[in-house]
Each structure stands twice: as structure tokens, then as C-alpha cells.
Chains A and B, each alone.
Chain A
Amino acid sequence: MRSEQPPCVAKWLLRHFGSSPNNAALIGDLDERYRYSRNRFWYWRQVVWAIVASFFKEISGHKALAIRALIIGWTIKAAWLSAFWYVYGAPPRRLFTAGIEPLLFVFLMGIIAMMSTTWIIAKTHPVHYRPIVLLYLLLELIGPFLTFISKGVLGGYDWRYPAILQGVWPPLFQVIYEIQFHLGIFNGVAATWESAVIMVVSILVGGGFLRNEVDSNSAEHPPATT
């Protein structure tokens, strides 16, 4: 038997990742149709499509803003990396012989750097922060992935330090790798995935994606109970 409540994970995703200015009305429409005639698969498909459609619509409608946001983000990132390399040298290898504390410090700095970058992007683009931060996140993931592919194809790939995250925040992957090494775990693949997850979460938290927002046009009635 079908539940009267729409899938809560799908709804959460749409609430936090939907870029439409009418996101609350859209969720209300989906809930209304779901209650009368639809199934969970239909709801999930609608949610995924709503997130994708609103993202592309907002980006294509505000190209200049998106480019400005990317320039701001990459400028801040470049400033962080320059400061890091200025203090510790590049690559920061000598840091990793001094125990776990400096590693954790650098790890924390990497997270703060990512969060602050997307926080500034979100603050400077308050109306369209969702699609713009998502675009920044996608490019930060795609860029290193292309580097990873090209290095794999062209040769010279260093398996000890996979390139997949070096292009994003070079210290982060290396720090996680060295922390694992320090703990007696030798697993570059795990470090790559951990770095990717930490990077994604940091960017989303910094960009304000995970905060609880009250819908602008809701709460006149409490949700229906079944």
C-alpha cells in the first residue's frame, strides 16, 4: 500500500537543492499530485527533473552573474592556495613528518578555505546562490576529474598522490592520505573518496545549502496528517 506522505529524502533534496524562485509552490504541487494519484517513483523522477531544470534555467538566465561568481570563487581559492604554499611550501611534504597535529591543522584549514570560498560566493549572490554554488561545485569536481583522465591517458600518473583532488584543494587529499598513513592505513582510493566527500560537504555547508530555511510561501496550514 502506498504511503500518503511523499518520500521525505526526495522532498528534502528538492527543498535544499531546488533553484526555482517558486520552489515552495513547486513542492506543494508535487505533494498535491502525489496524494491523489502518483507513486514514489513518479515523485523521485519529478524531484530530480525539477532540480536539474531549475539549475539550468537559472544559470542560463544569469550567465554574467555565474561567471562573476566563478571568478570570485577561484580568486579566493587562489589566494588561499598562495597563502598556504607561502607558509608551508609546495608541495607541503615536510609538514607531514612532524606528527598528526600539523596534519589536522592543515586539514582544518582546507575545510575552512572551501567553506569560506562558497560562503563569500553565496553572500555576494544572495538571490541566486543555489544554482551558482552548485555550478561552482560541479566545476570543482569536473576539473580535477578531467585532469585525472588526461594524466591517465597521457601517462606519468602518480598513484601515490592521485590527481583527482589535487586540482581542487591540493593539501586536502595529501593531508587525508598522510593521516591514514600515520594511522597505519595505506589506501589512496579511500583517501580520494574521503577528500571528495569532505570537499562536497564543505562547499555545500559554506554555501548555506544545509541550513533549515522556512519556505517563503508556506505554513499557513500545518501539513495534512494521515
Chain B
Amino acid sequence: MTKRDQLGNFELMVMLALIRLGDNAYGVPISEDLEKRTGRDVAIGSVYAALERLEDKGFVASELGEATPERGGRAKRYFHVTARGLKEVRETQRALVKLWHGLPELEGGKA
């Protein structure tokens, strides 16, 4: 795997939000989910930049949805995780769990 194909920190957070949201994953719920879970304000522009990078890598696919009046007549773009993306998230999780083990500072022990 090339470095370009690895998941960045924010990209991983976006992927997890996509998995959690399922079929209703477009810009608004994705950014709201990230804000709710991280406690930080999230720029929708950054979410789209991450989603487009993930789409370039083949980890995410998208299609246009319905347009609504409250969106100024603009259609939603729904995103979902591909099989390749899901595999990448699992590999990242495994790597992070391995890195986590044996660190007393992060397991409630003394620093």
C-alpha cells in the first residue's frame, strides 16, 4: 500500500461517520455527527475535501440525491463506503489497536 492510500486522521473520522450513518450520509449529517462526537466545530468544506480524497482513493463512492427547497434547489450528494474502504478501515483499526497495547499512560496507569 502506498502512503497516498493510507487513511489520515480526519479521513478515518469521516469514514467512521459514513459507516455509522449508512444510507443517509451527505454533508449535513456527516458534519453534525463529527461535531457531536468530537465536540469541535467542523467545516463542511473540510469534510468535502476529505470525501473527495477518499473517493479518489476508491474508499468512498457517491451519487446525487434529491433537491429540496430549503437547500436552494440544490441536490444532496450521498456518500457510502466501498468494500475496499471498509477493508482499509479494518486494517487501520487493527494497526491502531496494536499500537495502543502496552502503553500504561493510555490504559489508566501512572505516567
Contact = CB atoms under 8 A, between A and B. Distances in A.
Contacts of A219: 67, 73
A51 B72 CA distance: 19
A33 B71 CA distance: 9
B93 interface: no
A20 B48 contact: yes
Interface size bracket, B side? 20 to 34
A71 B53 CA distance: 26
Interface in B9-36: 26-28, 31-32
B53 A61 contact: yes
A35 interface: yes
Nearest to A33: B28
Interface string B73-85: 1111100000000
A24 interface: yes
Which of A20, A27, A220, A223 has most chain B Cβ within 10 Å? A220
A218 B73 contact: yes
Interface in A149-202: none
A175 B74 CA distance: 45
A217 B75 contact: yes
B76 A31 contact: no
Interface string A113-131: 0000000000000000000
Interface stretch (A52-60, A80-88, A98-106, A138-146): A52-60
B45 A51 contact: yes
Contacts of A32: 28, 68, 70-71
Contact of A50 (B44, B62, B64, B77): B44
Nearest to A35: B70
A61 B45 contact: no
A39 interface: no
A148 to B, nearest CB: 32
Interface in B50-106: 51-53, 56, 62, 64, 66-77
Interface string A27-50: 111111101000000000110011
A25 B69 contact: no
A28 B77 CA distance: 10
B43 interface: yes
Given A217-B77, A218-B73, A25 B26 contact: yes
A221 B73 contact: yes
B44 A26 contact: yes
A50 B67 contact: no
A72 to B, nearest CB: 24
B77 A25 contact: yes
Given A218-B75, A220-B73, A22 B48 contact: yes
A218 B75 CA distance: 6
B73 A223 contact: yes
Given A20-B48, A27-B72, A53-B48, 16 more contacts: A22-B51, A26-B45, A29-B71, A30-B44, A31-B70, A46-B45, A49-B43, A49-B45, A50-B44, A51-B45, A52-B45, A53-B49, A61-B53, A61-B56, A218-B67, A221-B69
